[in-house]
Structure 1
């Protein structure tokens, strides 16, 4: 495999598919990321594998354990001849072989000891991933990273249960890559460049070939003008009016000498696009909420680039933008000759460029006003403007809030517990009960310093003990419902075992969320993901 160090071409060949997902700038973020993995368990090494292959900058494994027989049985990155050796060292050596561009390091030390004597160690990383930590240790780690606003991913596999928790105070996303969105065509509020271009074309005087290769967007604009002249300047609003507009466009299809309509694919496209292209141009409610966010309204010299640009965007909409966001600057594919498609594309790009320049003016003025050193690049501002309708801010709850009895999301948890009590309970979403069982197992560990069923001969004896821990937990949350005994028995039967198949699945899920956080692209989960390996189902819940 070609090395990234060999040049840009080698890098493009090596990372071709992922570059199509998050681009050069996303890959650059990945290549400068420093990831810390706590515990080289089967789950931990699967996560790291999926980050090393796409090319994270570096990783450090923190693990004070020695390799044991059970590790070799479920971890592909440990071998039988490594039993008794440092688990952190052996895993680092084998994982480093996956990608020569990634540097790996390890620290054979207990995480609790390191939290006590050098908590700053954890704040030097881009992202921290923790696997199989006790509740107390997890809370201590969570406090350190929460204060530093460094993302923490908590992942564990417990029998057939997979669990992932994303913990971050604030994560801003410019390129959220929404699955479904409407094109920003501004047909209801056409800008000057679009008006001038469309008005320069005359459908009536065109020859046959030119008429049938005029972009459908121009056709739709033309017939909207005719519609508005007949309806007092109003756009078609309801289904009936849009059907009438489609009929009006049909009348524009040319007919042959026998009076039969010609096959003009561009007119067919215009008719099909009526419903999807006549969406009211406006500012989405999510973006208006960002405009009212204190981080936008109260800028200071420490404000993130994101919030400075949001404030500039707000000012743009209130002045230069006439109440609208910057034009996105892209148009969909359509039947047209290359010359006029490129001309139309240029019209949109030019207006998007003008809007971006205007926003940049607000950005630079704000930077000056708040006394912020440095600047924000034009490329970053252009990307921001292009995605301004899809900006997202993720703020999760801290682990301290989640684990507190007074702040637990008892309403959501209680709903799922009640579902499990019903014989005809719906399958949708009820995997959340597994989260409650994991929390009960943690209480069991805090009391007995081992997990229920950890020893084969203790499974039956631990069932009533786990049920007691579970009952106390539910009582602390103020719930009056219970959990089926079948679930409690299964938890004891699992004995906190880590199955490689579940670890492999969760390794993919956790790595995906880590990449979202590192690249600042796509929207991470908020905030808990539960996987049920028995039923092959999963659910996401906000806790």
Structure 2
């Protein structure tokens, strides 16, 4: 029976479009997520809006500020009547109206006080989103969450510039959903049951209907065997050889009494799929790197489920898989009658089930070796995917099946810590220097300027240009802060005065249009982290609204 919301609406209808993106297990992870927002700025509330609407479990806003006139001017979730009242309370009340399935809370306290006096407070959150924090507090928060293994998403809008930084020690992605991928058909090393099925069909004796309704995969296999018989058992590799195979398939089309080829769509499909279907079966390089990762090779009782499963798949590849990953178990749609298509589909599904069974035995064996003798738990005990838990015993049969099906697309994201980024001795200054040398004005120049305005704030307790009467003097001081930063990085690069003047004219203002854009991008990254699906940024995203351009880089 489908779950029903408090308002009586069917959740499957309410969240239909997003369920198509990340599935019911992704939605379940979202609905159990606890999100913390630091500072209910225009950017912060836009991010929360885009997380509340798809149905996060709960959110907590930490903000000590009162609503001011400038907040009302750029924040859709604050009104003129709320000036002087708690920004955290007002934003929470209005945001909570967006989705009655989501619960909201607020704390009227300085984030710095919480970090110093109650650091464990942050441990219970799925992700923490920080907006408009000063550099000192941000570094404290970054180190705290780094040690707690809680993802931190830093977001900022400064005039026409948007900035996002993801900070996470390790993030595992099982369902990375690559934009393009080859079907797992294995014609270069066919599944035994597939060979048996193909051998049972004699296309030369088929009637017209059966001939034109034989799945193209079987047609291709049949003519591939003819090719191999006349080429020493070798598969066609180069363009010329594949073209010859295509011609061989075309010649197999039935002809009418006048010798004119019939219209057989399955043969056309076979020809169109020659290049992709003959893609060699192999373990992708990204997955090979995971197999060599120390976290995979050196398992302990504290190892995350992701690494236990990765090790189990690695062992499977080296033994039962004979160099190949578990069969994905899916085939593309193709012209065929139902009977033949179902038989063909069953071949791949049955092999996938067998591979899952082999991997499951290896998971049990690894758990026993790690001293985890408890049985695998039913994944329904968890509102989120058990692969996102740190407890190895939370691995379920469903998790293993999902892991095997996506084993070719496994990814691990390891970001640099803020501490390393902000330390001149460990900062990625080479990359920054390369971008600053771009004469056309690279977007990375705004990263250096944002770092400079933070230095300015640390020194003067306000951002450059915040007080309009002293913009000119702030320009001089910002130049000095920028020069000091470049000197700390040992960079001889220069930044045009126009950029410095522009940063001072911004006066640290948040424009609602920029906040709305960054709110969408940041919420998307947060959902990736929460669901464990799709690849998040690693690690910095900069948006330049003046040029409508963006840059993603690893700082």
Q: Is the 8 A contact 2:169 2:414 kept in 1?
A: yes
Aligned partner of residue 186 in structure 1, secondary structure: coil
| CA gap 1:355/1:268 in 2 versus in 1, 3 angstroms | same
Alignment of 1:486-501 (within 5 A): 486-501=498-513
Cα distance in 1 for partners of 2:375, 2:93 equals: 41
Alignment of 1:335-346 (within 5 A): 335-346=335-346
Cα distance in 2 for partners of 1:301, 1:528 equals: 33
Aligned to 1:358: 358
Cα distance in 2 for partners of 1:414, 1:258 equals: 72
CA shift, 1:535, in A, is 1.0
- Deviation string, structure 1 residues 211-270 (Cα, Å, up to 9, x no partner): 011110000100111111111111001111101111111110111111111111110110
Aligned to 2:35: 35
Alignment of 1:100-139 (within 5 A): 100-139=100-139
Aligned to 2:541: 529
Q: Is the 8 A contact 2:86 2:108 kept in 1?
A: yes
Aligned partner of residue 121 in structure 2, secondary structure: helix
- Deviation string, structure 1 residues 132-153 (Cα, Å, up to 9, x no partner): 0001100000011000110000
Aligned to 2:379: none
In the alignment, structure 2 segments of 5+ residues that lack a partner are: 377-394
Cα distance in 2 for partners of 1:153, 1:395 equals: 14
Q: Is the 8 A contact 1:4 1:14 kept in 2?
A: no
Matched residue count: 534
Aligned partner of residue 204 in structure 1, secondary structure: helix
Alignment of 1:38-437 (within 5 A): 38-372=38-372, 373-375=374-376, 376-419=395-438, 422=439, 425=440, 430-437=442-449
- Deviation string, structure 1 residues 373-414 (Cα, Å, up to 9, x no partner): 452211110000000000000000000000010111111111
CA shift, 1:71, in A, is 0.4
Report whether the alignment pairs 1:17 with 2:17.
yes
Aligned partner of residue 227 in structure 2, secondary structure: helix
- Deviation string, structure 1 residues 35-58 (Cα, Å, up to 9, x no partner): 000000000000000000000000
Aligned to 1:4: 5
Cα distance in 2 for partners of 1:345, 1:459 equals: 70
Q: Is the 8 A contact 1:153 1:166 kept in 2?
A: yes
TM-score, length basis structure 2: 0.95
Hey, which bits of structure 1, 4+ residues long, moved more than 4 A? none
CA shift, 1:462, in A, is 1.0
Aligned partner of residue 351 in structure 2, secondary structure: helix
Q: Is the 8 A contact 2:153 2:164 kept in 1?
A: yes
Q: Is the 8 A contact 1:3 1:101 kept in 2?
A: no
CA shift, 1:5, in A, is 4.1
Q: Is the 8 A contact 1:249 1:271 kept in 2?
A: yes
Cα distance in 2 for partners of 1:484, 1:353 equals: 62
CA shift, 1:6, in A, is 6.3
